[in-house]
Structure 1
């Protein structure tokens, strides 16, 4: 192995060690049994499995591997930016600005591969491709599913109201109308006590 290849591997493994910190970022979603909150890495793994198995419900044909990779990397920026709870009242602009600075720092560790990762992260943020739209659907539905599975515990603890849930999910159907309809009827309505009307 030549020196250049050795250096490239050093950079990659430095990055791999750095992204292990994603396991330390706690979210506001309870895991099964509501025994503790999940972390970002668990969230990413769960969505990746869901995306593979639910890809047939996408409104548009998607590149599944690209979508999975997008889901696996999109929250890595929270290593530096921290998790922003969906119903915390932080503006999307403020959150994006903080996370973009984190993306610069993290993906900047890898001169070549980092550009590809940053482009994929930016694509997720823009939600302007079939893959990004479906990834957003997974990102919204996974915590909804866990919230339902834990009896609505996180929503109750945070005093989340129906209007907030609907606002948060105003674009969820753009990735999958079928999955949004299913989630609405099975994950939201049982916890808000009324049928949600469009």
Structure 2
């Protein structure tokens, strides 16, 4: 009974991810996306794009990583990716993850903690693909949303290409080629400067 109580408590706590506002607006909407919506979107995207990974991936593990990778934002909030790679922010996310996972039975806590660490390290094929997929929706939000968050945060095309190109190509060269093509169109149309 204690295990199911912890899981239900965890389920209640992760509801808070729905209130974490992200830095981009979903395509066609005039409101900011929340982190729970992002988690759903990247999972569906990974499932659809799995055959384009550079190497074969375990899609269930990838989807688990994508479902839990932003749970630390319940504590840390969402910071635009081009500014969020700080030790302070990563520690805040790690602290939030540990608090959440303490609610779970030991086996789940260990599995999810290990998957979260693996995603953060980004070295395994599954993690490289998950990190690649994680970058795509925010780019599409900007490409098809007049570059709203790029403009708001003064993000240059050089930064967008350098940061995302490496990260996406590590997981899927073919995906990066398509996204790069769309980014180039955004530059040509003046959406990305």
Residue in structure 1 matched with residue 102 of structure 2 by the alignment? 108
Residue in structure 1 matched with residue 160 of structure 2 by the alignment? 165
Does the 8 Å contact 2:39/2:66 carry over to 1?
A: yes
Inter-partner Cα distance in structure 2 for 1:100 and 1:121 = 9
Inter-partner Cα distance in structure 1 for 2:124 and 2:37 = 25
Instruction: Compute the displacement of 1:192 (Å).
Output: 2.5
Residue in structure 2 matched with residue 83 of structure 1 by the alignment? 78
Say yes or no: does 1:143 pair with 2:143.
no
TM-score (norm 1): 0.89
Deviations 1:67-92 (A, max 9, x none): 011101100111011111113x3443
Residue in structure 2 matched with residue 27 of structure 1 by the alignment? 22
Instruction: From the CA coordinates, give the structure whose radius of gyration is larger.
Output: 1
Does the 8 Å contact 2:119/2:127 carry over to 1?
A: yes
Does the 8 Å contact 1:86/1:168 carry over to 2?
A: no
After TM superposition, list the pairs within 5 Å mapping 1:12-161 onto structure 2: 12-87=7-82, 89-112=83-106, 113-161=108-156
Inter-partner Cα distance in structure 1 for 2:36 and 2:84 = 22
* Runs of 4 or more above 4 Å deviation: none
For 2:28, what is the secondary structure of its paired residue?
helix
* Farther off after superposition, 89-98 or 69-78: 89-98
For 2:123, what is the secondary structure of its paired residue?
coil
Inter-partner Cα distance in structure 1 for 2:10 and 2:57 = 28
For 1:38, what is the secondary structure of its paired residue?
coil
Inter-partner Cα distance in structure 2 for 1:156 and 1:34 = 17
TM-score (norm 2): 0.91
Unaligned runs of 5+ in 1: 1-5
